[in-house]
Structure 1
Amino acid sequence: MLEWPPYRRECAGGHVVLQLLTISSGVVPQTQQPSSHGSRPRILSISFSPLTRDARVLRQIAVLAEFGDVTTVGFGPAPASASTHIEVPADLASLPQTVTGVARLAIRAHRSAEMAAPALAYARAALAHERFDLVVANDARALPLAFEAAHGAPVWADLHEWAPEEQSHILSWRLLVAPFMTALCRTYLPQCAAVTTVSPLIADLYAERFGVDAGVVRNARPFEDLVPSPLVEGRVRLVHSGVAVPERCIETLIDATLALDERFTLDLFLVFGDDDRYRRELVQRAQGSERITFHDPVAPHDLPAALNAYDLGVYLLKPTTTNHRFMLPNKFFDFVQSRIGVVFGHAVEIDHLIAEHGLGLTVSGFESDDLVAALSSLTAEQVAGFKSNSDIAARALSSEVDAETQREVLRRLLSRT
């Protein structure tokens, strides 16, 4: 970690404090201009997420690096494909959560709140003397900083979900942040040189609400060179992986497995937070059943190989928000690249892909009884067919398709500079 100016000014007890910013890089960054003829373009990617754990952004940065030298802004250490990294301290919020910031949100002073978030203020200072040929803003909250850092260069907005309802299940978010997100989208999206998002239906929402033509870059993962694992006679091996939080309703999967016949087993690869109460609740719910197994989480790049040993990936998420109803999540693509069948609760985009490729089952409801009804009559031949169809569809449902969409955007935007 190397230290360099500029400094961030903060007030502490009535005194002005100068805090040195930190940059991760192989060299001490200098004030740089956009590329001149014959040199590689300078590309800035902004994402207020832990970059080394954000699979979508990591795939994006790898494609950006094919076209130029990439400077990244985000939480945590530098991604492998970055030339230079500005690490934002993890304790800095990416929304205006200070007293003055919340007050601005409350009175709908959205323009003055755009740079009020501590994380944006930190990154703004670090980028003050930098110049780029292209800036990529991941999600709406990064748009004000992206346009300021662009200094007239093209800005590409990659929206990871429907921004106005990102956390709409939280009352304070609906009251304070949702109008702010809407204002950011209304102000900045029409100015963007390119807009992409995660699914066709969410792209339609951006077109209807903000008048932008958004391309689709799915949350698909790279193609995995795997084949379906053989069935085990007399067994249907269910599996679920991911973050374990109550709204994911993992207890529904456990209850359904306990209610199903002895053929069915459930293996859980779960990532728990610091609070261990939910884990204890789930373990207690499983009642010590030999058919339910809890595993340590698996690193994202190792997940397909781990899940390949199973038959059906299962996920039920109640559609409480627009993003849930129109979701096309990492998990779906993880299951396909693992060459297992998929069993999902109703979601429009996923329903379509399951039906189009014959990948598995759509569950009509979101309770354990609904899952039991969907699974109880499955035959071994059906399960084998789902796994085989995942194998057939794996190339079309890999990130290769989406990477080419990103390359087309980059060729178009960088040709301007």
Structure 2
Amino acid sequence: MRPAILCVSFSEIVADARVLRQLDLLAEYGDVTTLGYGPKPASASVHLEVDSSLASLPQTPLGVAFLAARIHSKASMMAPAVQRALQLVQGHTYDLIVANEARALPFAHQIADGTPVWGDMHEWAPEERVQVLSWRLLVAPLMTYVCRRYLPSTDAISVVNDSIGELYAKNFGCTTETVRNARPFVDLTPQPLADGPIRLVHSGAAVPGRNLEGMIEAVHQLGDAYTLDFYLIEARDNGKYLQKIKQIAGDSQQIRFHPSVAPNDLPIVLNQYDLGIYSLPPRTRNQALMLPNKFFDFVQARLGIVFSPSPETSRLIDEYQVGAVAEDFSPASLARAIKSLSRQRISALKENTHRHARSLSSQTDDLVVRGIITRLLSTRHEPSNR
């Protein structure tokens, strides 16, 4: 009988590229039950859907009261989504539980009863949304409590990059393994630059704080020799922020908006462009240390890359000579970095991403994930009271 694996992610899993790649690997080793928002992912054998209206944080009046009183042991299990999740898994047992992000850890340990728990923390949980005052005052202390309480008894811990891993080691004394947001190798070739404007592209989520406004301003400064196409996923605000971004772009002929693209199809769609761009002011520690999906999406699409400065992305851009790094986080700096690249240089950058596409694919990361899965499935613990 194949092992039974539970993968928990309080996200819309079918739109979560990192979790989808995780699921593809988990399905090699067992029958995977997913628990989260939205429809059933393709790699799942069973899907336990949590209604998207149920918050994954304790946002009820009683939950907020516990947060304010710093009664985190109770608050950590009071999120409506967590309460629904407890109902959905009742009567089921698993051989491995994967908890994506810190908010899923208390639930995973609550139901584990000796089952190994893999905590994929993704980024630095205590500062996930510290730019929001209510989150900083109420939720950040909860995330710190969750990490301090549950990480020592979590059997494997993974993070998106080494810089984030160092934060967990320094603050919680835990050992982490790095699983980047790299995607599988895609067999594409760079498209030659067409006559006319340089084709810029950005893909990602249309959520506040991603500085989409700054990228629009940069393109306005560049003039008619450049275009920018957006492939954006609507936030859980019924598209309000996306509409705001479209209004900022106005009737500019340089800027176009397209429907979001399924993660597996994204490199093929992006392959028609020349430069993938992103500029994100570091309002949080996670933003300062970013190594996002889109970097690897742009590589597999065989694009040149222009990013704002960040230790992780800047190191890769310089090491593999696949793009340019802006001097700072202003629209003017992004525009200058883009404009500094001649057409000949852009063609060379696209060839470099092509040359290094396999090195910058998920091959290395997949080995780490397979090692975690194999190790944890080989030794199921005796039931405990942790």
CA distance in 2, matches of 1:182, 1:308: 41
Aligned to 2:33: 71
| SS of structure 1 residue aligned to 2:28 | helix
CA distance in 2, matches of 1:150, 1:266: 47
- In structure 1, distance between residues paired with 2:187 and 2:310: 28
Gap change, CA 1:280 and 1:86, over 3 Å in 2: closer
Q: Equivalent residue for 1:212?
A: 174
Change (3 A) 1:41 1:285: closer
2:43 corresponds to which letter in structure 1?
Answer: S
Look up the match of 1:308. 271
Q: How does 1:335-350 map to 2 (within 5 A)?
A: 335-350=298-313
Q: For residues 135 and 66 of structure 2, what CA distance do their matches in structure 1 show? A: 14
> Compared with structure 1, are the counterparts of its residues 296 and 69 closer, same or farther at alpha carbon in structure 2 (3 Å cutoff)?
closer
2: distance between equivalents of 1:77 and 1:279?
Answer: 23
Contact 1:51 1:76 (C-alpha < 8 Å) held by counterparts: yes
Question: How far is the alpha carbon of 1:276 from its aligned partner?
Answer: 5.9
- Deviations along 1:58-110, one digit per CA (max 9) or x if unpaired, are 11111111111112111122212222221112111111111111111111111
2:205 corresponding residue in structure 1: 243
Verify: 1:198 aligned to 2:156, yes or no: no
Tell me how far 1:112 sits from its aligned partner. 1.5
Which of 13, 17, 20 is 1:58 aligned to? 20
Aligned 8 A contact 2:207 2:242 in 1:
no
2-side partners of 1:327 and 1:117: how far apart? 28
| TM-score, normalising length: structure 2 | 0.93
- Offset of 1:246 from its aligned partner? 4.0
SS of aligned partner of 2:107:
helix
Match of 1:230 among 192, 195, 203: 192
Of 86, 89, 92, 1:124 maps to: 86
Judge conservation of contact 1:135–1:149 (CA < 8 Å) in 2: no
Verify the 8 A CA contact 2:275 2:305 in the aligned structure 1: yes
Aligned positions of 1:290-369 closer than 5 A: 290-369=253-332
Pairwise CA distance, 1:365: 1.4
| Letter in structure 1 aligned against 2:135 | W
Moved more, 257-266 or 381-390: 257-266
- Give the conservation status (yes or no) of the 8 Å contact 1:261–1:376: no
The answer to whether 1:185 aligns with 2:147 is yes
8 Å contact 1:169–1:320 — kept in the other structure?
Answer: yes
* Range 236-245 or range 196-205, more displaced: 236-245
Following the alignment from structure 1 to structure 2, what is the Cα–Cα distance between the partners of residues 297 and 64?
26
* Paired AA for residue 250 in structure 1: L
Counterpart of 1:221 (choices 183, 186, 206) is 183
Q: Deviations over 1:277-316 (max 9, x none)?
A: 6555544544534333333332322221111111100111
* Equivalent residue letter for 1:328: L
Q: CA deviation at 1:359?
A: 0.8
Say if 1:131 and 1:151, in contact at 8 Å, map to a contact too.
no
Cα offsets for 1:326-354 (capped at 9, x unmatched): 11111111111100011001111000110
Give the deviation of 1:115 after TM superposition.
Answer: 1.4
Distance in 2 (CA, whole Å) between partners of 1:65 and 1:294 is 35
Distance 2:275 2:95 in 1: 45
**Superposition pairs of residues 80-95 of structure 1, within 5 angstroms:** 80-95=42-57
1:150 aligns with 2:112: yes
Aligned counterparts of 1:377 and 1:204: Cα–Cα separation in 2: 34
1:403 aligns with 2:377: no
How many residue pairs are counted as aligned between the two chains? 379
Structure 2, gaps ≥5 residues long: 381-386
Structure 1 CA distance, aligned partners of 2:15 and 2:239?
A: 21
CA contact (8 A) 1:185 1:210 kept: yes
Q: Which range is displaced more, 165-174 or 69-78?
A: 69-78
Which residue of structure 2 lines up, in the alignment, with residue 413 of structure 1?
Answer: 376
Counterpart residue type for residue 198 of structure 2: V
Aligned to 1:113: 75
Percent identity of equivalent pairs: 51
- The equivalent of 1:394 in structure 2 is 357
How far off its partner does 1:126 sit?
Answer: 2.5
Task: Summarize the Cα distance change of 1:413–1:286 in structure 2 as closer, same or farther, 3 Å threshold.
Answer: closer
Q: Does 1:173 align with 2:135?
A: yes
Q: Identify if the C-alpha distance between structure 1 residues 128 and 346 changes in structure 2 by more than 3 Å, giving closer, same or farther.
A: same
Report the more deviating stretch, 121-130 or 181-190: 121-130
Deviation at 1:141, TM superposition (A): 1.1
2:15, 2:262 within 8 Å by CA — same for their partners in 1?
no
Does the residue aligned with 2:21 lie in a helix, a strand or coil?
Answer: helix
Q: Secondary structure at the match of 1:203?
A: helix
Cα distance per residue 1:356-413 (max 9 Å; x no partner): 1101011111222112222223212211111011111211211222122100111111
Give the direction of change, closer, same or farther, for the CA distance of 1:163–1:372 in structure 2 (3 Å limit): same
Q: In structure 1, list runs of 5 or more residues that go unmatched.
A: 1-38
Is residue 2:2 matched to residue 1:45? no
Q: Which has the larger radius of gyration?
A: 1
Residue 102 of structure 2, aligned match among 140, 143, 148: 140
Q: Which amino acid counterpart does residue 416 of structure 1 have in structure 2?
A: T
Shift of residue 198, structure 1, vs aligned partner: 0.7
| SS of aligned partner of 1:94 | coil
Shift of 1:138: 0.8
Contact 1:46 1:142 in 2 (8 A): yes
Counterpart of 2:342? 379
TM-score (norm 1): 0.87
